[in-house]
Structure 1
Amino acid sequence: MRHFLWFIDYKKEEIEEIIKLAFQIKKETKAKIFKPYLKNTQLAMIFEKSSTRTRVSFEAGINQLGGNGLFLSSRDIQLGRGEPIKDTARVISRMVDLVMIRTFGQERLSEFAKYSRVPVINGLTDLCHPVQLLADLMTVIEFKKFDFRSPEKTLVSYVGDGNNMAHSWAILAGILGFNLNIATPKGYEVDNFIKNKALEFAKVSGALINFYNDPKLAVKNADVVTTDTWVSMGQEQQKEKRIKDFKGYEVNNKLMTMAKKDAIFLHCLPAYRGYEVSEEVFEKYEEAIFAEAENRLHAQKGLMVWLKK
């Protein structure tokens, strides 16, 4: 049995298998072919953090695969009333076949997985967001012809907060071997454990991973430019300070001119125009952005089928 908690536990070949399976199922979905890969499979979806894309993509995905999704918010289960995580895991995993959790601390996810009898999927934690990166990788393959055999030909530039998205890009680049520049304001850098782990993987894969405090340096000659909100869920009280601290980090037309002419822009959404991205850039690259959003459905279907194969 395998859990999907973060990329650190996965080999390059396994990630490639998941992506290939996701593309196969996407092709079938577009042809209105819905094979019951997970017939009668019960997916428990535990949401301690709310989400539009995660809820819809997992619930629609498991239904299209022939299974059933159970939405469980912290208000619906004893986990939100003080029951130990390990007890909730022991109970739920005796009744379902898969569990997806969207929560705050990575330690909560890890404890649940430790006591679960079934595969557990990270739907997002404060530390990382691996299911989003599977969708992003699919989108880069579709729009930029990324090749697992020669990944170093692709340069991704992440501009913004050194948060769960930056962490996920760093680890994925280290494992797969594509080149990555990350630009964050001082004081908002990538977590040191994640940084060191990414660089450790990069020594094997050949990835070039650079960390900057200047967006211009990071975006130069990039094939893909990406960002995330400056104020994530739970950080609302820091909003005004963060807006000041992130001055100069908006991805706008001027910044995009430093990337390659055929570069694409990605955003995991929701996007706040005028902050991390300008209205002009968002609308110019909206085809890739919303293909990226749709790919959450296909990537997660591929992942769930892979975990249950």
Structure 2
Amino acid sequence: MSTRHFLTLLDFTPAELQGILDRAIELKRILRSGEIYEPLKNRVLGMIFEKSSTRTRVSFEAGMAQFGGSAIFLSPRDTQLGRGEPIEDSARVISRMVDAVMIRTFDHATIERFAAYSRVPVINALTDDHHPCQLLADLQTFVEHRGPLAGREFAWVGDGNNMCNSYVHAAHQFGFHLRIACPYGFEPDPDMLEQYAHCATLVKTAEEAAEGAHLVATDVWTSMGQESEQSVRKRRFSMYQVNPRLMDHAADDALFMHCLPAHRGEEISEDMLDDKRSVVWDEAENRLHAQKALLEFLLVGAR
């Protein structure tokens, strides 16, 4: 059987994705009960970071330790990846020494090239185009708090970035509808919006996106690598802040999510993370449980 990779949410079937969410909830219960469960004993995860991250490193490293395995952290200073050695050669070598590889990088083509030459599963821990691991955590969190995803109305407010793209894929795979509100010039790729017009709609204002939504999600206005655009982005995005007033347009039982880190006073108001509708801390924790379910699926199989 060919090696399975997780580069976008489209790499798995809807049933497989739902199975991972269900398993993540069960693994969370197992961990909290104090039960020792080590399906990846003596397995090694290689973690390649070209972009830094708190939640990604801690969740994958802790997850492997809890599963009885180990993880190797590799920064740009620690490898030859893209720095003299072709990506294809790095993939051939690293994948002979570890059981899975997690990559957090800029260009999505980098992870696709690595996966094409890897003997072991490759996991996308973020690229400029997609962030599927975060979506697993977000969707797990919604299911825990509000139940099934199908038929729901979700809102994305802010930059049409990698998170937005993965929310579009999630809408397609799980059967919910996504309304997207972005400033002019910062929308998702038009071809993608056309392809997924059945489940994602671009609207003009944050209020229109949030109206009646069961979930409102956002991200920073300026991502890593875009620092030179910060002042321009702050002006252009000023009408797309998520705050309690915007949330009042949403459904009575709406949830608010943010993948973190958050810039209080920019994409969210100073008080939004403490709002009763915010579930960002559960969302952050669920990176651990969702990724453990993903690792188990890729290395052991569906449970």
User: Within 1, Cα distance between the matches of 2:24 and 2:73?
Assistant: 23
1:6 Cα offset (Å)? 0.3
Alignment partner of 1:252 is 2:243 = yes
1:34 Cα offset (Å)? 2.6
* Correspondence for 1:54: 56
The alignment of Structure 1 onto Structure 2 pairs a total of residues equal to: 298
TM-score, structure 2 as length reference: 0.96
* Correspondence for 2:20: 18
1:76 Cα offset (Å)? 0.5
Task: Give 1:131-146 correspondences, 5 Å limit.
Answer: 131-146=133-148
- How large is the Cα RMSD of the aligned pairs? 1.2
* Correspondence for 1:169: 167
Residue ranges of structure 1 left out of the alignment (5+ in a row): 203-207
User: Within 2, Cα distance between the matches of 1:80 and 1:86?
Assistant: 9
User: Within 1, Cα distance between the matches of 2:191 and 2:130?
Assistant: 12
User: Within 2, Cα distance between the matches of 1:93 and 1:16?
Assistant: 28
1:4 Cα offset (Å)? 0.1
Alignment partner of 1:102 is 2:104 = yes
* Correspondence for 1:235: 226
User: Within 2, Cα distance between the matches of 1:303 and 1:142?
Assistant: 17
Which of the numbers 19, 26, 29 marks the counterpart of 1:27?
Answer: 29
Which of the numbers 185, 188, 191 marks the counterpart of 1:187?
Answer: 185
Q: Tell me if the contact between 2:193 and 2:201 (Cα under 8 Å) persists in the aligned partners.
A: no
Alignment partner of 1:279 is 2:270 = yes
Q: 1:284 is matched by which residue type in structure 2?
A: D
More helix by share: 1
Residue ranges of structure 2 left out of the alignment (5+ in a row): none
**Compared CA separation, residues 286 and 40, structure 1 to 2 (3 A):** farther
Deviations 1:8-39 (A, max 9, x none): 22211110111112111111011111311111
* Correspondence for 1:269: 260
Provide the secondary structure at the position in 1 that maps to 2:101.
Answer: strand
Q: Structure 1 stretch 90-99 or stretch 172-181: which is displaced more?
A: 172-181
Q: Structure 1 stretch 157-166 or stretch 12-21: which is displaced more?
A: 12-21
User: Within 2, Cα distance between the matches of 1:196 and 1:109?
Assistant: 25
User: Within 2, Cα distance between the matches of 1:196 and 1:97?
Assistant: 38
Q: Tell me if the contact between 2:257 and 2:278 (Cα under 8 Å) persists in the aligned partners.
A: no
Provide the secondary structure at the position in 2 that maps to 1:275.
Answer: coil
Q: Tell me if the contact between 1:265 and 1:285 (Cα under 8 Å) persists in the aligned partners.
A: no
* Correspondence for 2:155: 157
1:285 Cα offset (Å)? 4.2
Q: 1:81 is matched by which residue type in structure 2?
A: R
What fraction of aligned residue pairs are identical, expressed as a percent?
Answer: 49
User: Within 2, Cα distance between the matches of 1:195 and 1:10?
Assistant: 21
User: Within 2, Cα distance between the matches of 1:192 and 1:245?
Assistant: 20
Alignment partner of 1:289 is 2:280 = yes
Q: 1:7 is matched by which residue type in structure 2?
A: L
Deviations 1:287-309 (A, max 9, x none): 61100000000000000000112
1:261 Cα offset (Å)? 2.0
Which of the numbers 279, 291, 295 marks the counterpart of 1:300?
Answer: 291
TM-score, structure 1 as length reference: 0.94
1:286 Cα offset (Å)? 7.6
Provide the secondary structure at the position in 1 that maps to 2:260.
Answer: coil
* Correspondence for 1:71: 73
User: Within 1, Cα distance between the matches of 2:65 and 2:292?
Assistant: 10
Q: Tell me if the contact between 1:175 and 1:198 (Cα under 8 Å) persists in the aligned partners.
A: no
1:197 Cα offset (Å)? 3.7
